[in-house]
Structure 1
Amino acid sequence: MHSISNIDDPVDYRKNLIKFIVDKMYSTKCILYKIWPKIVMSNLKWIRPPSSSSIYSSLLMLLFFLLSLSSNIVESTPMFRKVPSPIYYKQQGSDLELNCITERIDNVSCFWLRSGKVVPPQSGKYDYSPFSSSGDCSMTISRLQYPDDNSQWKCQVYPDKSGQELPTTDVIVMVRPHQPNITFDNFTDSPIADQVTSISCQSTNGNPLPRLEWYLDDMNITQYAKEIVKDRTIKSTLRYVFTKKDKGSQLQCLSFHPTGQQVSSKVMNVQYKPYVTVKEKTYTAYEGKDLEIECHVEANPEANIYWKPRSEKINETKYKVMSNKLLLRNIDYTFDGEEFQCSAQNAIGPSKTESVKLNVLYPPRLVNIDFPRKNITVGDDMQFECTFVGNPPPKIRWCFTDAIRNNLYYPKASDDNPGVLIIKNVTYLNEGSYYCQGINYNWILNKENMVPSSQFAVNIVGRPLFIKDKRTVIGYRGLDTKIEQSFCSDPSPNQVYWIYGSNRIPVDLEVGKEDSIRPHNQLDHFHIRTGRLIKIDSLSPNPTCFRVALMVANTGTEDIRDYSLVVHNKYGKSVGIVTLQVNSPLSIAAVIAFSLILLVIILAITIGIILLRRKPSQSSSGSSTISSTSSTNKQRIDDHHPVEVVDNKYEVQVPNNDSYGDGNNSLKKHGSKKTNGH
């Protein structure tokens, strides 16, 4: 027996311990002597030099173990009641129990080999009992990890002289592969029809590697693919001849793996020689309408179809090409008469060019507008300009909404240039909103098109102005007479007063809503009173036009004069004059007399009408003499219209008939002379 005590060097200790164990096994004819050195040598890290105090106890335990093995060799014939499955597929991070239970229920030594190497028990990772009295050598692997636990495992039991093959199992730690990726080997995803196209699908990082299959729509075409496996990468290369009918088909690469199925897909855009046609040569539309023109193309890819205008003035922002369609949105006048060309080209070759022409009817379109500044001074000129184009050519109409009454007016511009409106010597009456309208007629829609411009508000500022410079008011003696003046002022007036003779009556600047006239405090003894300012542009939020009244009580001839209203603001002052004329009112007697005279006239007219309707009486003696004198020359024209000759002149008498209204009237030719009695 070799002594292993008093060895200080750890390496020498390990070597001597191994030699001691081998000699012991050989001397006891232990069947483990053939494999035990291998176990020990492959696991030298197990053996640590014991301290001087425990070296004998360690050796004693080892000897006991070896002796127990040797003493039970003859009667050891273990059979396995339960063994692990040949293969396990487990998700990374999960736990796995490997069963290994023998028929022998006592004195069993257990070992687990991983790829031929002993894996010692490790709490929380590899849990099994190296000495089992029940024959259970099962091991639990916690938190499976790739690649450490992805291996072949074998359960080793001692003693065993049965010759039974030891149970082994393959543990596959499953790792989900990356998403498969489809790539075209020719750097384009558009295969050419009737030519071989090479396409690859690659999947990496999977354990085990997935199975890749190819599908074109629902048809499995994996038979046209070859696989290459390297490390943890699998690559399937498909070599396939696509046809024209495969355009738009979906090519899929399916990855089948125990952790789940993944798919990568591509829509096939098979190319072939283009042929283009258009449905019509001319398209008619009107402005504002969307127009879609289709270029029929027998080709692929669609991205190789081109629409372009023949004219350079239409840029790409005014139209859009989608697939084989030309999309014109909100067509305007610039498209009228333009031509667009459709063509296509691909790797096979170019197509012929097809052209379409546009005939666009469009309503008025404002292309230019020029308004003056917002604030215009009284007395200045202002000019507005606007230009419309259209098909047919539009008429231009100017519109003005005044700020005082909010009425709509149509100022007339020059016939030579209707797009220019000039207003000279502006006043407050020109304040308001201005805009122009373009008007034409769309014969396709059978309706009139009217397009207004934006409105522009003009504000008139300056000295006050009266709406009427001079007015005349008629008053009657003894009655009250109301004198009014209207004016506009922007900014608002800071002083307003009436002047007549040597008198001056100030006007209250507080704006009122009614014409109630109140006497001025200092002029209560006068018979002339004034009211406050009354705004007349009631629709305006900031009134600039006002009305002022002056009441003359018991009007007399002494009140005949000019009454001047003076208005001040920061730009200056203006004076408005009203002339008062006083007439005497008619007395009651005069009114009665006038009425009687009028009644007499009416009665006389009535009597005259009645007399005229009566039958004429016998002619007077003078008339008889003339009739007898002229009777010798009388000739009868007919039974109803006798003709008399008077001084060689003919006279036609109208017969007495009430239906004519006046039997004494006669129609005379060549101006017959009057006779006595006529």
Structure 2
Amino acid sequence: APETRLVGVPTGQLEEGRDQLEIRCLADANPPASILWRRTKSPGVTEVASIGETLLFSPIYRNHAAVYICEAANTEGESSPVSVQVSVNYPPTISSVGPDRLTTALLFSGASFECNADAMPPAEYRWAQIFTDGRMPLECGTGQRLILTNVTYEQQGQYICLASNKINGNVREVKSDPVSLQVVGAPRVVKPAITEKFVVATTEGNPAKLEIRLCSDPKPRLVAWEWGSTRLHAGEVLESRYRALDLEPLAVEDCYIAVLELTSTVKEDQRLYHVIVENDRGSDRRALMLRVDEPGQIPLVIGAVAGFTVLSVLVMGFVCFLRSDRCCVARNTVPALQQASNTMIEDPRLAVDTMERNNQQYASEKRPNHVLKPVPSQQYQQECYQHDPPHQQQHYQRHHHHHHGQPHGPQYTLQGEQLFLKPDRLATLKPHCKIEKPPQYTTFKPSSNN
């Protein structure tokens, strides 16, 4: 009996109208076998789909999706059937959305919409509310059914269903025609937006405008402003200073704006103002506060703020100055040391001109028997180096040493010993020890205890 096997079975997704299907059924038989393709219509029911070893659809469509069975037969018998499942993928197409194009719901009641789409793989659904005033669509739910509870006038408008699936990694999405939700009920004053205020401020003598947004279906039959014992209906004028404007429709359906204008204000106008809205289904009210400032209050507040700002800047600058001055103490001592280094030391045996500062680095060496230490000014006269007049040989001799071509700085010989002095410590020695400013450093021989 023949033995069959399939070649060309697709491994990826087949998209309707774009891909083709070609499957071959190979039979190993002797004598050669005849091959027949059957298609399953329902469980246990098949029909002939193709005769021959090749099953071909170019392009393939959704009606080609089925289970296909290959059979081979010859004079020796029939092969065992070999089957393959053929799936055809296609993007969504929305078949219905509703239940109706227009749904009416009472204020604070519920409403729902349902969307159906034909797609393979099955579609995913999401809903969005669209606006006619230029705002971006607002996503409001997912799933095949959208359920709205406790609806308000803000939810009144149009909704669309978006169905999508993914074929070979590409998202295919389609949106439905819009369906509308109409909300009817008592008037509702809309919650103020970010740019709106519950308190309106003005300056005495200047005009003021109180505004409030409301929605109502049916349209309000009464809109009035109340303060104290006064009631002013929309479209009326009182004392030529108070004017209640007629309702102005907004871009949002069934929504309006109510305005109370004060052409000029006095201090007594500072109070709460209530707006009352009524229609056949009920009423609503909201209060706004008007604050009237004296003419000098605003400049006073501005001046106080400016003064506080300037004072803060000054305090911060003073703190920064103290911190920077503390960091610069070491730097500020340099001029004092330089001044002390330029002090004249008197000795007739030594006449050395003060050397100019340069950028060379001078190496210092320790003297075994002499050190340099700071001497307090009150001890300078007693410890000042005393000149020995009978001694005819120069007590100091100046030498220059170089190390690899680089000078170490001037050197002096003190009775056969070397004394190294930096350039900013060199001075001219003159007779006697009388000086106006004592030097900060001198030489003495340390005692044996040190």
Match of 1:535 among 249, 262, 277: 249
* 1:530 partner letter: A
CA distance, structure 1, for counterparts of residue 175 and residue 45 of structure 2: 26
Contact 1:477 1:583 in 2 (8 A): yes
CA distance, structure 1, for counterparts of residue 151 and residue 111 of structure 2: 7
Q: 1:599 to 1:314 in 2, by over 3 A?
A: farther
Matched with 1:85 is none
Q: 1:367 to 1:566 in 2, by over 3 A?
A: same
Matched with 1:475 is 201
Of stretches 572-581 and 602-611 in structure 1, the one that deviates more from structure 2 is: 572-581
Deviation at 1:615, TM superposition (A): 4.0
Contact 2:103 2:181 in 1 (8 A): yes
Match of 2:229 among 502, 505, 511: 502
Matched with 2:397 is none
Q: 1:425 to 1:599 in 2, by over 3 A?
A: same
Q: 1:596 to 1:465 in 2, by over 3 A?
A: closer
Q: 1:360 to 1:329 in 2, by over 3 A?
A: closer
Q: 1:468 to 1:320 in 2, by over 3 A?
A: farther
Instruction: Tell me, yes or no, if structure 1 residue 605 matches structure 2 residue 316.
Output: yes
CA distance, structure 2, for counterparts of residue 387 and residue 281 of structure 1: 32
Q: 1:577 to 1:436 in 2, by over 3 A?
A: same
Contact 2:153 2:183 in 1 (8 A): yes
The secondary structure found in structure 1 opposite 2:239 is coil
The secondary structure found in structure 1 opposite 2:186 is strand
Match of 1:459 among 182, 187, 190: 182
* 1:536 partner letter: L
Contact 1:306 1:344 in 2 (8 A): no
Deviation at 1:599, TM superposition (A): 2.2
Q: Deviations over 1:47-74 (max 9, x none)?
A: xxxxxxxxxxxxxxxxxxxxxxxxxxxx
Q: 1:590 to 1:352 in 2, by over 3 A?
A: closer
Deviation at 1:485, TM superposition (A): 0.9
CA distance, structure 1, for counterparts of residue 45 and residue 60 of structure 2: 13
Deviation at 1:475, TM superposition (A): 1.9
Matched with 1:430 is 155
Match of 1:379 among 81, 88, 108: 108
Contact 1:464 1:572 in 2 (8 A): yes
CA distance, structure 2, for counterparts of residue 607 and residue 524 of structure 1: 59
Deviation at 1:429, TM superposition (A): 0.8
Deviation at 1:328, TM superposition (A): 7.5
Contact 2:129 2:160 in 1 (8 A): yes
Matched with 2:129 is 400
Deviation at 1:310, TM superposition (A): 5.3
* 1:566 partner letter: I
The secondary structure found in structure 2 opposite 1:558 is helix
Instruction: Tell me, yes or no, if structure 1 residue 340 matches structure 2 residue 340.
Output: no
Deviation at 1:460, TM superposition (A): 1.8
Match of 1:409 among 123, 138, 144: 138
Contact 1:284 1:358 in 2 (8 A): no
* 1:437 partner letter: L
* 2:264 partner letter: N
TM (normalized to structure 1)? 0.38
Contact 1:368 1:387 in 2 (8 A): yes
Q: Deviations over 1:65-117 (max 9, x none)?
A: xxxxxxxxxxxxxxxxxxxxxxxxxxxxxxxxxxxxxxxxxxxxxxxxxxxxx
The secondary structure found in structure 1 opposite 2:317 is helix
Alignment RMSD (CA, Å):
4.6
Contact 1:392 1:441 in 2 (8 A): yes
CA distance, structure 2, for counterparts of residue 596 and residue 314 of structure 1: 95
Q: Deviations over 1:334-373 (max 9, x none)?
A: 93xx41246899xxxx999774431444545668855476
Instruction: Tell me, yes or no, if structure 1 residue 289 matches structure 2 residue 17.
Output: yes
Match of 2:172 among 435, 449, 459: 449
Contact 2:19 2:60 in 1 (8 A): yes
Deviation at 1:288, TM superposition (A): 3.3
Matched with 1:206 is none
Matched with 1:554 is 264
* 1:559 partner letter: D
Contact 1:284 1:359 in 2 (8 A): no
TM (normalized to structure 2)? 0.54
Matched with 1:357 is 85
Deviation at 1:410, TM superposition (A): 0.8
How is 1:106-145 mapped onto 2 (pairs within 5 angstroms)? none
**Gap regions ≥5 residues in structure 1:** 1-275, 298-304, 509-519, 619-678
**Gap regions ≥5 residues in structure 2:** 26-35, 331-450
Matched with 2:220 is 493
Matched with 1:65 is none
Contact 1:371 1:456 in 2 (8 A): no
The secondary structure found in structure 2 opposite 1:407 is coil
Determine which structure has the larger strand proportion and give its number.
2
Q: Identity rate of aligned residues, in percent? A: 22
Q: Deviations over 1:509-559 (max 9, x none)?
A: xxxxxxxxxxx4xx3524211223322216xxxx42111211123333422
* 1:606 partner letter: G
Q: 1:315 to 1:433 in 2, by over 3 A?
A: farther
* 2:214 partner letter: F
Deviation at 1:306, TM superposition (A): 7.2
Instruction: Tell me, yes or no, if structure 1 residue 331 matches structure 2 residue 62.
Output: yes
**Aligned pairs, how many?**
306
Structure whose alpha-carbon radius of gyration is higher: 1
* 2:229 partner letter: S
* 1:537 partner letter: A
* 1:398 partner letter: W
Matched with 1:280 is 8
Q: 1:501 to 1:601 in 2, by over 3 A?
A: same
* 1:402 partner letter: F
CA distance, structure 1, for counterparts of residue 44 and residue 288 of structure 2: 66
Match of 1:421 among 146, 152, 158: 146
